[in-house]
Amino acid sequence: MSTATATAPSPTSAPVAQGKVTQLRVLNSEWIKLRTLRSTPITLLVAVAAEVGLGILVTYLRASHPRHGGVEHINGAELSLAMYRLAQLAVGVLGVLIISGEYTTGMIRASLSAVPKRLPVLWAKAAVYGAVLLVLMTIASLAAFYGGQAVLSSYGQAAHMSDPGVTRVVFGTALYLTVIGLLGVATGALIRNSAGAIAALFGVLLVLPGLADLLPATWVPNVVPYLPSKAGEALLNVVPDPSLMSPWNGFALFVGYAVVLLAAAAVLLKRRDA
């Protein structure tokens, strides 16, 4: 006489429900990556410290020790925000590392295996980092501006947000730094090597304008205003610089460079092996 023995199914044999890959889920994944990356808080802290801390310090030193030992008229808004030049190094480097670091460690294979269409990964990295930068750099720009004006008020040279061009420069600084970060993401995706991408990014942004001094004088007006950094910096002058593009046209061109690089990175991401 035989008896049948019922065996309870093993808990480990239960099918695992797998959710559909959506852009929202990829965004959440990239947000987790960004905030848990060790270099993120350090690099962003350096950017904020450069723009706010050094900005206030430079403002104080310039106001308390005027050039040529006499009374000097100071553009308070531009002076207090001048350290964006250092902050851009930090946000640009982090933008590169966000994606090139995954190629270095090999984690990019796991990311692209989880998201076979690939492009949502790039869009999510750019969107998450861009949003973080826009919020953080806006706060930093406001802090640098108001901190600098608090210093300059003792010398009777403080600027005010209601002054012509000041609001554009304050919020334009945050926009400029956000686009720098996106250029970093695009360059990292294109070159996929951290050192090479960082060198390329800042070669174009910082070295290329210096090399423009070697051009014939007749070429300069037709070349320099359209360089990426010069186009973006047109937004950062309280009184528009006649040698550059108009503020918003220059910034539009600057954004265009970022869009073109991100589009090129998207094409290569689809075509190249991880």
128-131, long-range: CB < 8 A, 24+ apart: 128/27, 128/30, 128/31, 128/34, 129/34, 129/94, 129/95, 129/98, 129/181, 129/182, 129/185, 130/178, 130/181, 130/182
List, in order, residues 6 or more apart from 130 with CB less than 8 Å away: 178, 181, 182
The model's confidence at residue 46, banded by pLDDT at 50, 70 and 90, is very high
- pLDDT at residue 63, as a whole number: 85
The model's confidence at residue 70, banded by pLDDT at 50, 70 and 90, is low
In this model, does residue 274 exceed pLDDT 50?
A: yes
How far is 172 from 199, CA to CA, in rounded Å? Answer: 25
The model's confidence at residue 84, banded by pLDDT at 50, 70 and 90, is very high
What is the residue-averaged pLDDT of the chain? 89
How far is 155 from 19, CA to CA, in rounded Å? Answer: 62
- pLDDT at residue 18, as a whole number: 55
Q: For the chain, what is the largest distance between any 2 Cα atoms, rounded to a whole number of angstroms?
A: 113
In this model, does residue 133 exceed pLDDT 90?
A: yes
Weakest mean pLDDT among 71-75, 171-175, 212-216? 71-75
Supply the pTM of this predicted model.
Answer: 0.89
Report CA Rg, the chain.
24
In this model, does residue 1 exceed pLDDT 50?
A: no
The model's confidence at residue 68, banded by pLDDT at 50, 70 and 90, is low
- pLDDT at residue 134, as a whole number: 97
- pLDDT at residue 112, as a whole number: 87
In this model, does residue 6 exceed pLDDT 60?
A: no
Q: Which residue has the tokens 């946000």?
A: 91
Structure tokens at 185: 């993401």
Look at residue 272 and give its three-state secondary structure. coil
The model's confidence at residue 206, banded by pLDDT at 50, 70 and 90, is very high
- pLDDT at residue 13, as a whole number: 44
